Each structure stands twice: as C-alpha cells, then as structure tokens.
Structure 1
Amino acid sequence: MIETTGRGDLAGLLRAWRDRLQPEAVGFPVGQRRTRGLRREEVALLAGLSVDYLVRLEQGRAARPSAQVVASLARVLQLSDPERDELYAAAGLAAPTSGLVPTHIPGSVQRLLARLPDVAIGVYSATWTLLTANEAWSALLGVIAPGRNLVVQQFTRSGVTVLRGHDDEMRFQCALVSDLRRALIRYPQDPAVAALVEQLRSVSETFRELWADATIVEHRSEPKTFVHPVVGHITLDCDVFTAAGTDLRIVAYTAVPGSEDASRFDLLRTLGATSDPSWAGAEPPACVPVQDGARTRGVHSESEG
C-alpha cells in the first residue's frame, strides 16, 4: 500500500513505485544492490529520460512532466490502470480517456518481454501502432521505433522484405484492414483512428479496395521468411495474441528448435540490432501516392506482424 501526502505527490509516487519494482521483472540481473528495487539509472534508461531529469522529478524539483513522459514512466514502472491514472493526476494531467485507443501496457505483458529473451516480441495498439518490443525483436527487425504503424508500412511497402505467396499476402492485408475497421467502430471518438484510415485511403489503392469490400478476416499462425541483411533468409513462426482485458496485440516470432533458422536467430540475438539504417524501414510521407501493386508480386515488403 503506497501512502502519499496528497494528490500531487508525484515525487513520492515515483520513488515508491521504483522501489517496489524488482530488477528481474524488467530483465535486469539482481546482483548486489543497495536499493530495494530499480536504480534511477535503470528507470531512466528504460523510459528514455536523462538520469538528471528523473532525479529532479523524484526530488520534486520538476513537477510538471509532459503526458509523453508520464506514459513512459507508467509503462516502465508497470503500473496498473488505477495507478497510471493517479500518476497522471499527480502530474497535473488528465488521464487517457476510455474513448481513445489504449496504449497502456500492463506489467504482465512487460514481464513477457523481459522474461522471454529467446522470442522476438512486439506489442501493438488496436490500430497496429508499435508500442514497445524486446531486444530479440530489434535484432530481427531493426532498431525499435515506437509509434511506427504496421498497416501504413504494409500498404506503402516501406518495411523489411518478407517472402510470401499471393494468397497469404492478401489474407494478411485483409486481416489488418479488418482490425483497423474494428478499431474505428470501437473508438469512434479517437480522431487518430479516422485520420489513419484516411491516410491509408489516400496512399494505397489496395487499401481502398479492401476497405470498401469490408470482408472480415482473422489473423492466424503462419511461418514467415525474412530476407535479413546479416543472416540472409530466416523463417520463423509468427503468432498473434490479444492480452486479456486489453486491446493490445502481441506478436511473437519463434524458431523451430534445432533448425538452421534457430541457429540464425541465435546469431542475430547475439549480435543485437543491425546498424543498417534501411533495415527498420522509414514511413514515407502520408501525402505521397504509392504504387502498391500488391496483387501481382510474390516478394513483399512489410514490417513486423
């Protein structure tokens, strides 16, 4: 039970929640520690903040962090939904409303990323926007870029190269469009969802056709063959899960034990994320039309998922 001196006790909340989070919950070794939980340096690293700024927050010398900073700290500290809302309130911010696509990642999901280093795991929102991923994911698909949208990458051919047949490609595209339609129906008050649909309609003829067709397709487990700049062709099984009680989508890539692909995957995880700047795939501007030609090619470019 965390006791606070008042609704605005941001510093006290941050210190208490940092102290209770054990290093193994985020994949750090326990070792010899003077602190009960995570070190400030570790929280700052995971949240993408400077240590000095985190110190000022915990000492009450910086009491008005941005919503982005609060969201990052809530994720790293593995807060529950009520705790996250309390952190927003302590920072003088309104908590995310239920009318928007959820982006909060519960601690149970974060522990999956930390405790399964042999599996490449990425976590997406209901609109297939990447929220976070583990190191194995970065090794396979390039440096993690939270905020990158899979649907945009798929329909603008701006991601990594995946070898797949025409039928599998069309099914995957239909599943993504189905997911985006569900998100629009479920979160009609979120302007970002409608804007994403309009962006895709403006850049991809294939998306426009599938959107108008309105066929509902579910994701299914399937193998995917990537053309990686370090190890060449690597085939992994891809599974998509939904975290219970959330609209988060968890994508996991695994290799068949003892296979050549498993050896390649082990090598990738040992080497870490490639420094090739073209590997992660940058999204093109939304206003630039793209000739997608997806219905005729046998070699396709996509990002994760």
Structure 2
Amino acid sequence: MARTGLGEALMTWRAAVAPGDVGLPGNGTRRTPGLRREELAQLAGISADYLTRLEQGRAANPSPQVIEALARTLQLATPERSHLYQLAGLASPVPDRIPRTISPSVQRMLDRLNDTPVAVFDAMLTELHANALYVELMGERTGHERNAAWRNFLGSTSRVRQTPASLGQLQELQVADLRRTAGRYPNDPNLQALVDELRRRSPRFAELWESGVVAEHQAGRKIIDHPVAGAITLDCDVLQVAGDDLRIMIYTAEPGSSDAEKLALLMSVGA
C-alpha cells in the first residue's frame, strides 16, 4: 500500500519514542521499537483505526487538533512540529511565547567555555544566562538592564565603548532583530510590552521601528572599559541556535595579546 509523506513521518517518529518517555512501562519484548500504534492513538486521544489510516495514506485532511495532539505526544521539536503540519497540508500555528529555555546540549557547550565570556539571549534580546567571566567583564545586569535593546535605548551606562556611529548601527540592528521576532511571535505579551515601552519613551526607537530598517548580526570588535583591567579589545561573535531561537554572544581575545592577558586577569579576579 502506497504511503504518504505524512504516514511515513508518523511511523518514523512513533518508532523513535520509547514507552518510558511518555509514562508507559517499557518491560517486555516488543517486535518493533518505539510506541505501538494503539499506544500513540490512546495518548493522542484518537482512534487506533484513524491513526492506521493516516499512516497507510487512507485518510486525508486531518484536523489541526489531531496534528497538534500527535505532535505533542510524539514530543516533536519545533522544526519537526512545523514539518508535520506541512505534511498534513496545514499552516503551522504561530507560537504564543518566545522560547526562553536553554536546552541541556547548549548548557553542556556553555559549561566548556568557562575561560571565555559567554552570554545567552532570547529572541527579544533578554539575557537568559551569563557565565562568571562575562559578568566580570560586563558587570551584573538586573531588571530591565538584562534586555539589550532596553539598555541601549533607555539605559544610562555601559562598559562597551561606543561612538555615535557605532551606537546608531547597533540600534538599527536591534530594532531590525526585534521586528523579525515580532513577526514570528506576534502574540508574546512580554515582547509587545517591550516594543510599546520603547516606542513610547525613545523617539530614536520609534523612528527606526517605523522606517523598516533592515540589518543582520555581524562579527565585530568592541572595546570594553573595565574598572580594574582597563580597556580590553575583544572580538564579538553572535551565534544563533537553530530551533531554540537563542543567540549566544561570545567574546574572544587574540591569543598572546595583552587583551588575552587582561581576560586571564579577570578570571583570577572572578575566582
């Protein structure tokens, strides 16, 4: 029997879910890996016969409710979930909230970078995590200051040395980034509140927001004026985590340079 892409995907994802992952006992011998068809159907709240017909390509046009129940039960990540909707001929629903969770794999990577200033931001540019060296370099940020856009449009102090031109470019980048985020998460209340406040209190932000400015993250070199180590020149790279919609900001110094020595000094101060 000819199966559809939807049927093949459902069978593949069903085989990848261990019974214990969904609260089912995993004891006993199973002829096939993963969940049985009847188990997936029961957990998703649909009939086993309907799931059989979906997998065999004998049922078409499943409802969004059915697809969402299957995606939830199969524990699909955001890209897989969107692909399931596409296979079913449905538009993927717009997420209500910006992801603000750091996955274990990303956290393991961060734990290996203790000798490098690293911070993680969500899609609305709010700091979620900063390692000890990043905090020592930039200072600890609390409240509204944890959001990079709020800080650069409404904040008062920063250790990063800026010229009017470099600050203007940074602001353009951040407004463009927030506009793209608003397109992906139009219903996130925290993002709406941030944009509303910045438009109300910052004429510069309001001007850029209305102008439709376009910009992309690029690697750059920054000078940080540290109260103990003095001026430190570092390369700044922003990495994006696919699927989680996170930005990882990493500062590095040229090996063997005086800036690298100053970073080492900051590590000893932090320790």
For normalisation by structure 1, the TM-score amounts to 0.57
Aligned 1:193-208 pairs, distance under 5 A = 193-208=191-206
1:149-180 CA-to-partner distances (Å, cap 9, x unmatched) read: 11000101334232233332211110100011
| Aligned: 1:141 with 2:138 | yes
Looking at structure 1, the residues matched to 190 and 251 of structure 2 have their Cα atoms a distance apart, in angstroms, of 28
Bigger-Rg structure (1/2) = 2
Counterpart residue number, 2:59 = none
Match of 2:122 among 121, 125, 135: 125
* Amino acid in the other structure paired with 2:105: S
Q: Distance in 2 between matches of 1:242 and 1:4?
A: 28
Contact 1:132-1:146 within 8 A present in 2 as well: no
Hey, what's the Cα distance between the residues in 2 that align with 1:126 and 1:138? 20
Q: Deviations over 1:190-226 (max 9, x none)?
A: 1111111011112211111111111111111111111
Amino acid at match of 1:232: G
Query: Secondary structure at the residue paired with 2:249?
Result: strand
Q: Retained in 1: the 8 A contact 2:138–2:159?
A: no
Query: Structure 1 residue 112 and structure 2 residue 109: aligned?
Result: yes
CA 1:5–1:207: 2 relative to 1, 3 Å? closer
Matched with 1:260 is: 258
- Distance in 2 (CA, whole Å) between partners of 1:232 and 1:116 is 23
Q: 1:231 to 1:167 in 2, by over 3 A?
A: same
Aligned residue runs from structure 1 range 83-102, under 5 A: 98-102=95-99
1:238, 1:252 within 8 Å by CA — same for their partners in 2?
Answer: yes
Quick one: percent identity of the two aligned structures?
41
Aligned partners of 2:95 and 2:184 also within 8 Å = no
Displacement after TM superposition at 1:99 (Å): 1.7
- Alpha carbons 1:132, 1:144 under 8 Å: kept: no
Q: Could you tell me which amino acid in structure 2 is paired with residue 195 of structure 1? A: A
Q: Is the Cα–Cα contact under 8 Å of residues 224 and 233 in structure 2 kept in the other structure? A: yes
Aligned-partner Cα distance in 2 for 1:251–1:233? 19
> The residue matched to 2:235 in structure 1 has which SS?
strand
Choose between structure 1 and 2 for higher RCO, CA contacts under 8 A separated by at least 6 residues.
Answer: 1
Aligned-pair CA distance for 1:146: 8.0
Task: Indicate the SS of the match to 1:162.
Answer: coil
- Whole-angstrom CA distance in 2 between matches of 1:2 and 1:143: 44
1:246 matched to which residue of 2? 244
Contact preservation (8 Å) 1:130, 1:146 = no
Local SS of the residue matching 1:265: helix
SS class of match (2:159): strand
Structure 2 distance, partners of 1:2, 1:140, is 46
Query: Using the alignment, how far apart are the partners of 1:247 and 1:207 within structure 2?
Result: 23
CA shift digits 1:124-149 (9 cap, x unpaired): 00000111111111111123648721
Structure 1 residue 6 displacement after superposition: 5.7
In structure 1, how many angstroms separate the alpha carbons of the residues matched to 2:76 and 2:211? Answer: 42
C-alpha distance after superposition, 1:235-288 (max 9, x if no partner): 111011101222101100111111111111110111118xxxxxxxxxxxxxxx
Gaps of 5+ in 2: 1-17, 25-73, 78-93
Give, as a single letter, the amino acid of the residue that structure 1 aligns with 2:139: G
| Aligned residue among 186, 189, 193 for 1:188 | 186
Q: Deviations for 1:47-95, whole angstroms, at most 9, x for unmatched residues?
A: xxxxxxxxxxxxxxxxxxxxxxxxxxxxxxxxxx9499xxxxxxxxxxx
Partner of 2:225: 227
Distance 1:200 1:257, change over 3 A: same
RMSD across aligned positions (CA):
2.6
Aligned length: 188
Match of residue 237, structure 1, among 235, 238, 241: 235
